[in-house]
Amino acid sequence: MLSDPGTIIQLPIDATGVPGSCPVPERIQRQDLQVKKKVAALELRSADLQSSRNNQEHHTQEMGLQRLIVRRSQSFTIQLHFSRPFHSGTDHITFIAETGPEPTELLGTRATFLLTSARQGNVWSASDFTIDANSLSVSLFTPASAVIGPYTLKIKISQGQGHSLTHLLGTFILLFNPWSAEDDVYLPSEILLQEYIMMDYGFVYKGHERFITPWPWNYGQFEEGIIDICFEILNKSLSFLENPSKACSQRNDVVYVCRVVSAMINSNDDSGVLQGNWGEDYSRGLSPLEWSGSVAILRQWSAGGGQPVRYGQCWVFAAVMCTVMRCLGVPTRVVSNFRSAHNADANLTIDTYYDQNAVMLPTQKRDKIWNFHVWNECWMIRKDLPPGYNGWQVLDPTPQETSSGLFRCGPASVKAIREGEVHLPYDTPFVYAEVNADEVIWLFGGGQALEILAHNISSIGKEISTKMVGSDQRQNITSSYKYPEGSPEERSVFMKASRKMLGSRRASSPFLDLLRSSGSKDQPVQLQLHLAQTPEWGQDLLLELHARRVADRAHPQGPIRLVVRFCAQTLLHSGGTRRPLWRQKVHLTLDFGEEIQRSLSLPYNNYKNKLTDEKLIRVSGIAKVAETGRSMLVLKDISLEPPHLAIEVSERAEVGKALRVHISLTNTLSVALSHCTMVLEGSGLIDGQISNDLGTLVAGHTVQIQLDLYPLKVGRRQLQVLISSKELKEIKGYKDIFVVAAGAS
């Protein structure tokens, strides 16, 4: 405005007489600038993280569509709604992503990045935006080196002259991405990704090398709340409690995350998920045999504020770790090693002892041979190792030995184990011994070892097994851990590993002296024990002893007299035994070339109420050869068959529609099964578990159960049924079910 409204401004007139063609006075120019209309400030009205679309593209839709869960090294799109159209030339917005306590850019737990027209390499970025009226669609990208975890996402809008406003857009969870070639967990096979990331059920293989049993397990990594519990596990680790900011910053490293989870699944050092129990008193919790899946365990642990769940053994520890690692985005499988060595003193031998009555003796040593042991393999690139050791890595959450002060194990490269490169981290010597140690069996008496009964170079690390991809069958993967037993390559690798592991002890090692020796001398008789019929719990066990006279240097001809003392003992999962439950003595005389058979009977009354839940018996025999004074050993392990479940589904499975399930169990035993309970579980079929009391099942009778399920999710699902009784803990069955969408034709 003019300072004096009454003043008349005389405009200059040029030579033509036309006013206004001469320069305008300066104060009129200033007035024109002051009256220009101001542009309104950009204000955020709302944000849409487009969880449904993004989760589908990031393979996390099974975790739900209500919140954003994405994988690193892959773009996702969000939509912002403003008070007016966004002007890329004049409006300036900055995105802020933060995770963990006290996030900083230095630690990699905070990222700030401007909106740009195109993505700038493998870094946090916001680009490829489109404008539609007052809406802005933006593509956000997280680098392959980003820390995994729950994030907050904010936007800062610059208002000019140093003023800005920051708005919370929402939260999201960032996971490892095995679909991205830039990620350290990249697995270049969609078939394998469907098995080792997306499959939420599987099998754990248990029992004995000659009686391998598939144990169905519900991993349930996509069930409600499991993703949050996985990060709760990381947040209760000792490393997090000691330095939360640093611990969060290391979660970009899959090796670090695996080692933390391996320690946190057991509770030996911390508020871990499971408490181990290898005894027989489970009164303060559940027997490890009574778990059917990971979901109930993880939810119980979380609801209890981090109190360890009772109880677990190796297959439970490994199955729960599989759930956690698949949930976090690391390809993982469960692996069973039959006759698995626990070589505490790292001398690559496990010594076992028998007395002259064939009784397997307890030992004060911590060394043992588990009937089977279960661990995990996780797929990853090992940037901390020389080239050539990427791929499957052994992780073992069962607390056997400490690693850097905590009960955990791995990752140990499977390739390094096969090649005997036991100097490579982590814990490779221990895992190498689990599958490669030699077994030396001694005759013990008078307080000392009397003679070597057997030196077995191939009895440990048998039938290493995992679930076959895309199938319910078992896959034998022993060849990935070692060369064929007894081959020149296997013995060469063994000697290389023994030199590295024994070190200065090598020169005086009686074990290596044994290896250099010719081994045990020829025996004049061959002994074998066979089962005469399929062993069933509740029945007498029938065996046959086969004895055959063969030539030897000391006694090339003439009869040989033997006294064979037999003993039967309960075989524990740890490889140890209980006190004898049956004994028998047999006298034999064999002439050259002669073969004799003797029948043996182990009555049910001798072993009833004396077996563990695994229902395993070891029958051992020590034969004393009168002519030589030397002894021989014969062994037979027996696994007793439980009754079998039958599960049938009568209709097609459809989401939300009643699905009739028929379950039947016939008690084929000669005794009643008391206090029977049934538990049903299955991700996508049942929310949680269904439990029923069945009472007592009389010998020879059949129980029939019918119930309706209402499937929750489409796709391949598995129903697991576990019936437990006082007498038998593991009567288990499963049924694969394919669920279609509601209303599908």
CB distance 442 to 450 below 8 Å? yes
- Between the alpha carbon of residue 284 and those of residues 287, 308, 531, 573, the distances in Å are 9, 12, 38, 20
Q: Which 3 state secondary structure label does DSSP give 325?
A: helix
Q: CA-to-CA distance for 215 and 219, rounded, in angstroms?
A: 12
Question: Residue 396: how many CB atoms within 10 A of its CB?
Answer: 31
Structure tokens at 343: 């070589």
Residue 637 appears among annotated catalytic residues: no
Kindly state the DSSP code that residue 384 receives in the 8-state scheme.
T
Show the CA angle centred on residue 422, arms to residues 418 and 423, nearest 5°: 140
Residue 322 appears among annotated catalytic residues: no
Burial of 338 by CB count in 10 Å (0-12 exposed, 13-18 middle, 19+ buried)? Answer: buried
SS3 content of the chain, % helix, strand, coil (to 5): 20, 40, 40
**Residue 360, beta-bridge partner list:** 354
CA of residue 471 relative to chain centroid, distance:
18
Kindly state the DSSP code that residue 265 receives in the 8-state scheme.
H
Taking alpha carbons only, the member of 521, 527, 529, 525 closest to residue 550 is 525
Kindly state the DSSP code that residue 695 receives in the 8-state scheme.
E
Q: CA-to-CA distance for 524 and 521, rounded, in angstroms?
A: 10
Phi, psi of 430 (to 5 degrees): -65, -45
Phi, psi of 176 (to 5 degrees): -60, 155
Taking alpha carbons only, the member of 585, 700, 568, 697 closest to residue 640 is 568
- Our separate counts of H helices and E strands in the chain read 15, 39
Q: CA-to-CA distance for 436 and 494, rounded, in angstroms?
A: 8
Q: CA-to-CA distance for 701 and 699, rounded, in angstroms?
A: 6
Options 58, 59, 342, 373, the catalytic residue = 373
**Residue 733, beta-bridge partner list:** 721
Strands in 355-501 per DSSP E: 368-380, 391-395, 402-403, 406-407, 412-413, 438-445, 448-456, 462-467, 474-476
Question: Residue 682: how many CB atoms within 10 A of its CB?
Answer: 26
Options 230, 248, 258, 314, the catalytic residue = 314
Residue 92 appears among annotated catalytic residues: no
Structure tokens at 330: 């690391």
Show the CA angle centred on residue 620, arms to residues 617 and 622, nearest 5°: 170
- Between the alpha carbon of residue 59 and those of residues 161, 245, 262, 665, the distances in Å are 44, 29, 25, 39
Phi, psi of 27 (to 5 degrees): -70, -25
Phi, psi of 262 (to 5 degrees): -55, -40
CB distance 547 to 590 below 8 Å? yes
Enumerate residues 6+ apart whose C-beta is below 8 A from 691.
677, 678, 679, 680
Taking alpha carbons only, the member of 496, 460, 493 closest to residue 478 is 460
| Phi-psi region at 306: left, alpha or beta (left = phi > 0; alpha = psi -120 to 50) | left
Enumerate residues 6+ apart whose C-beta is below 8 A from 560.
524, 525, 549, 589, 590, 591, 625, 626, 627
**Residue 224, beta-bridge partner list:** none
Options 184, 200, 367, 396, the catalytic residue = 396
Active site residues: 314, 373, 396
